[in-house]
Structure 1
Amino acid sequence: MTLHVIARLRAESGREDRLRTALEAMIEPSLAESGCLSYQPFADPNDAATMVVIEQWTGPDALDAHFATPHFRHVSAVLELVLAEPMVIDRLVAG
């Protein structure tokens, strides 16, 4: 079962670049994880403060393992400093 994840993030005013940098730094280590099929951040062209990360994982266990990695723990600490509101994560599977 492939698990699709959509994470929506909104930066505080003036912290948009820091959010983008933090999410882009997650690409390589996330893709190196055995359960990661894809990981791609996207910027909203109409709202510089909003970014969306679209990910695919081999299943919920792979995503849970991702949340326990040092790079995810690091980005979580950065996000606490730059987000205007809590991140929203949707987990989807083909129905």
Structure 2
Amino acid sequence: MTGAVPAAVTAVARLQALPGREAEVRAQALALVAPTRAEPGNLSYRPYEDPVAPGAWVVLEEWADEASWQSHLASPHLAGALARTAALLAEPPVVRVFSA
């Protein structure tokens, strides 16, 4: 019998920009794509701007396993982006995490 296969992790984050700060939130969301995609265990990272709700974003992330997701949460580029983005958002990000 072989070992258990690690469960993949999918995270869905919702962001809402403060009025007038939409372009800055857009820049932050897009700036995270390259460094996140380069992280070990990242399968996808896709930010989407809501076409009917200005300044609303959904970010879909897929990770090979819980360990890679946790590593991402501790990454310097994410911590820096969250610190900068906090002042640009109307509310804290809402994140839902699902395991396969």
Letter matched to residue 17 of structure 1: A
Consecutive unaligned residues of structure 2, counting only runs of 5 or more, are 1-6
Q: 2:68 aligns with which of 55, 62, 65?
A: 62
Query: Which aligned segments of 4 or more residues in structure 1 are displaced greater than 4 angstroms?
Result: none
Counting only pairs closer than 5 Å after superposition, residues 29-68 of structure 1 correspond to structure 2 as 29-68=35-74
Report the structure number with the largest CA radius of gyration: 2
Q: Distance in 1 between matches of 2:89 and 2:65?
A: 27
> What TM-score results when the alignment is normalised by the length of structure 2?
0.90
| Alignment correspondent of 2:78 | 72
* RMSD (Å) for aligned C-alpha atoms: 0.8
- Segments of 5+ residues of structure 1 without an aligned counterpart are none
**Deviations 1:72-91, CA, capped at 9 Å, x for gaps:** 01111112110100101011
Tell me the secondary structure at the aligned position of residue 51 of structure 1. Answer: strand
Are 2:11 and 1:5 equivalent residues in the alignment?
A: yes
What residue in structure 1 maps to residue 4 of structure 2? none
User: Which residue of the partner structure matches residue 25 of structure 1?
Assistant: 31
Equivalenced residues, count: 94
Whole-Å separation in 2 of the counterparts to 1:61 and 1:23: 23
C-alpha distance in 2 between matches for 1:63 and 1:34:
9
1:93 deviates by 2.2
Matched with 1:15 is 21
Aligned-partner SS, 2:77: helix
Identity %: 36
Is the deviation greater in 14-23 or in 59-68? 59-68
| Aligned counterparts of 2:62 and 2:73: Cα–Cα separation in 1 | 14
Provide the C-alpha distance between the structure 2 equivalents of 1:63 and 1:14, rounded to a whole number of angstroms.
Answer: 32
